[in-house]
Amino acid sequence: MFMLYLTVFMKRYVCTFQKRSRIEEREGLISKVRGYYWVSSLSIFSKFIISHTHGEYHVGSWYTDNSKQLSQELDEWLSSCGLTKSSDVRGVIAPTRVFLLGPSHHYYTSKCALSTATVYKTPIGDLPIDLEVNELLKATGKFELMDIRVDEAEHSMEMHLPYLAKVFEGKPVKIVPILVGALSAEDEAMYGQILSSYFVTGDLGM
């Protein structure tokens, strides 16, 4: 009876916290039998329930999954980009967290949405999410929460992750991913006001 409840639970839960397209790839961890997903490893079970890891959805297609090659490519691109001075740029030397804003391409919302993951993975290092700030933003009542499938399918933020992992390699920086929906001018001002308080304390928005 326990296994029956477990398989029914995992059929729903695994589909929520992991892309359907990769379920069959996890041989030895999850297998599909008679329409149910069976878990053969407690480690993968705990990963879905506890860590809520944001996987690398576009890795291997939009950018390489080879960590050494990716690191070398980023070194080349960053060293060749050059520096342009501008009086309009507002930045900090050593941010403690990075607010990562990206437009929604797959999910319609008239609000901004927060990630439900605890960490974003990249081939060259993981980026932990600032859960404390997430809770503070959630408490305003102005933010939605992204389904993990929406979060992973969205490329606008993921494309920045390897750069962030490279630039802040070895530094204790956390990220705050925010999906930006179709906002009115009034809502843009409102969200700007909410986030502005963080940008005077050593944080960086991009």
Question: Encoding tokens for residue 151?
Answer: 């979060």
Q: What is the reported pLDDT for 134?
A: 94
Nearest by Cα to 100 from 22, 25, 175, 195? 175
**Domain co-membership, 72 together with 32:** no
Residue 203 CA: distances (Å) to CA of 9, 75, 143, 170, 191? 40, 24, 20, 17, 16
**Domain co-membership, 73 together with 37:** no
> Does some domain include residue 122?
yes
φ/ψ (deg, to 5) at 56: -90, 85
> Does some domain include residue 197?
yes
Q: What is the reported pLDDT for 128?
A: 93
From 112-116, 126-130, 141-145, 200-204, the region with the lowest mean pLDDT: 200-204
Q: What is the reported pLDDT for 11?
A: 41
**Domain co-membership, 41 together with 109:** no
What is the domain extent for residue 20?
2-51
Per the structure, the count of domains in the chain is 2
The residue whose two tokens read 């204790």 is 172
**Domain co-membership, 117 together with 23:** no
Residue, of 99 and 95, whose pLDDT is higher: 99
**Domain co-membership, 133 together with 178:** yes
**Domain co-membership, 170 together with 126:** yes
> Does some domain include residue 191?
yes
**Domain co-membership, 146 together with 188:** yes
CATH number at residue 201: 3.40.830.10
> Order of strands, edge to edge, in the sheet holding 112-114?
143-145, 112-114, 174-180, 97-103, 203-205
* pLDDT tens readout for residues 20-53: 334 333 434 334 444 443 333 333 333 333 446 6
Q: Indicate the DSSP class of residue 47.
A: I
Alpha-helical (H) ranges within 23-121 are 42-46, 67-80
* pLDDT tens readout for residues 121-159: 888 888 999 999 999 999 999 999 988 888 888 778 888
**Domain co-membership, 124 together with 165:** yes
Mean pLDDT, all residues of the chain: 71
φ/ψ (deg, to 5) at 126: -90, 150
Nearest by Cα to 51 from 106, 108, 116? 116
**Domain co-membership, 148 together with 189:** yes
**Domain co-membership, 116 together with 27:** no
